[in-house]
C-alpha cells in the first residue's frame, strides 16, 4: 500500500518540484519508493534510501550540470510501497507501474535492493503490447536463476525479465558496467549471447562508444527502461552500497552515459537501487543518486519543453 511520509508531502522535496496536491494525471513525472531490502545476499540498508533521498532534496535546485533550469517540471511523489509481505508489495508495485505506463507517464522508482525492479518490469510488460528494451547498469548482471535459493533475489532481476512476454530474449537486454559474475551466470553466458559491456570495456573502449553500441542495440524498441544499481559506480564514488566492486565506472563516465542514452532513446522509466546510506557516513552514494535524478529530470524537461535554456 502506498504511504506518504512528511517528506513525500513536502512541496520542497525533489528540488522543489514535488506537487503534493496535484493529481497524478496532471504530473510530468511520477516518483515512488520501494523501501525493501529483503532480497539481498550480503549487506542490507537500501531500504533507507527513499526517505534519505527525499530529506536531502529539500534544499537542492532543479538544475542540470550545464546550468539549465527546469523549475516548471511537475513531479508527484506518490509515496512508498511498504507494510506487507514481499509478495503483497511486489504485486501492488506491478499493478501501479502498469497503470502509469498505460497512462503514458514517465516515472522514477527509488529502491530498495535490486529485487524491487522485478515487479516494475513486470508492470511495464503488462501495460504494453509491444517489445521493450531494458538497459541494466550495474556491477552485476543479476542473471542468476536463484541466489541462495531465492528466485526473487537482487541477483535474479533480469533472469525474471527473460520470462516476460514482451522480452523475447537476451537481445532486449543490454548490460553496462559489469565486473563480477556468479557461477551459474558464467554457465548461462557460455550458452547464450549476452549484450554486455564490462567496466573494463567502458574504460578501454571509451564510454561514448559503449553508449553508442547500446543505443544501436536498443533503438529497435520504441520504449526503453533503465535500471541503475549504484554499485555500477566505483566504490570511490559510491561506497554506501551492499555489494561494492572495485574497478567501476567513474562519475564522469556515468554522466556521459546517461546523457547519451536519454537524448537518443525513448526512456519511459528509470530506477536507482542499492543505495545504502548507513554503509557510508558521507552519503556519497545518496548524493550520486540525487545527481542522477536531477540530470534525468532535465532531459525529460527538455523533451516536453520545460527546460529553461
| Beta strands across the sheet bearing 267-273 | 2-3, 75-81, 29-34, 106-111, 267-273, 224-229, 133-137, 173-178, 196-198
Residue 40 pLDDT? 67
Note whether residue 309 is domain-resident: no
Distance, in Å, from the CA atom of 75 to the CA atom of 8, rounded to the nearest integer, reads: 11
pLDDT higher than threshold 80 for residue 279: yes
- What's the domain range around 66? 2-303
Higher-scoring residue by pLDDT: 38, 139? 139
Residue 168 pLDDT? 97
Residue 12 pLDDT? 97
Distance, in Å, from the CA atom of 159 to the CA atom of 130, rounded to the nearest integer, reads: 19
Percent of all residues in the chain with a pLDDT value above 70, rounded to a whole number? 99
pLDDT higher than threshold 70 for residue 175: yes
Note whether residue 308 is domain-resident: no
Weakest mean pLDDT among 128-137, 145-154, 253-262: 145-154
Mean pLDDT, residues 76-91: 95
Q: What is the mean pLDDT of the chain?
A: 96
Residue 1 pLDDT? 76
Higher-scoring residue by pLDDT: 142, 42? 142
Note whether residue 183 is domain-resident: yes
Residue 147 pLDDT? 85
Higher-scoring residue by pLDDT: 40, 150? 150
Per-residue confidence band for 42, with pLDDT thresholds at 50, 70 and 90: low
CA atoms within 13 A on the CB side of 19: 15
Residue 41 pLDDT? 62
pLDDT higher than threshold 80 for residue 39: no
Residue 43 pLDDT? 77
Number of structural domains the chain divides into:
1
Residue listed under C-alpha cell 536507482? 272
- pTM for the whole structure: 0.96
Mean pLDDT, residues 34-39: 86
CATH number at residue 296: 3.40.800.10
Amino acid at each position: 500500500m502506498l504511504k506518504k511520509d512528511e517528506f513525500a508531502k513536502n512541496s520542497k522535496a525533489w528540488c522543489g518540484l514535488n506537487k503534493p496536491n496535484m493529481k497524478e494525471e496532471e504530473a510530468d513525472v511520477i516518483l515512488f519508493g520501494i523501501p525493501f531490502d529483503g532480497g539481498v545476499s550480503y549487506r542490507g540498508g537500501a531500504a533507507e534510501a527513499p526517505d534519505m533521498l527525499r530529506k536531502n532534496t529539500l534544499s537542492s535546485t532543479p538544475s542540470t550540470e550545464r546550468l539549465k533550469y527546469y523549475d516548471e517540471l511537475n513531479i508527484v511523489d506518490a509515496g512508498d510501497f511498504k507494510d506487507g509481505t514481499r509478495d503483497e508489495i511486489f504485486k501492488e508495485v506491478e499493478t501501479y507501474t502498469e497503470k502509469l505506463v498505460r497512462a503514458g507517464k514517465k516515472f522514477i522508482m527509488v529502491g530498495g535492493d535490486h529485487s524491487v525492479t522485478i515487479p516494475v518490469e513486470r508492470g511495464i510488460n503488462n501495460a504494453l503490447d509491444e517489445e521493450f528494451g531494458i538497459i541494466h547498469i550495474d556491477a552485476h548482471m543479476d542473471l542468476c536463476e536463484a541466489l541462495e535459493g531465492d528466485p526473487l533475489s537482487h541477483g535474479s532481476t533480469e533472469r525474471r525479465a527473460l520470462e516476460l512476454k514482451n522480452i523475447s530474449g537476451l537481445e532486449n537486454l543490454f548490460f553496462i558496467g559489469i565486473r563480477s559474475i556468479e557461477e551459474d551466470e558464467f554457465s548461462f553466458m557460455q550458452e547464450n549471447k549476452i549484450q554486455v559491456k564490462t567496466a573494463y570495456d567502458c574504460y578501454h573502449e571509451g564510454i561514448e562508444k559503449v553508449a553508442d553500441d547500446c543505443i544501436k542495440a536498443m533503438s529497435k524498441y520504441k520504449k526503453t527502461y533503465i535500471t541503475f544499481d549504484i554499485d555500477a559506480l566505483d566504490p570511490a564514488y559510491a561506497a554506501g552500497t551492499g555489494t561494492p566492486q572495485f574497478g567501476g565506472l567513474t562519475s564522469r563516465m556515468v554522466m556521459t552515459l546517461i546523457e547519451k542514452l536519454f537524448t537518443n532513446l525513448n526512456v519511459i522509466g528509470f530506477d536507482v537501487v542499492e543505495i545504502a546510506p548507513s554503509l557510508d557516513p558521507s552519503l556519497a552514494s545518496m548524493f550520486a543518486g540525487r545527481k542522477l535524478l536531477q540530470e534525468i529530470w532535465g532531459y525529460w524537461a527538455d523533451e516536453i519543453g520545460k527546460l529553461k535554456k
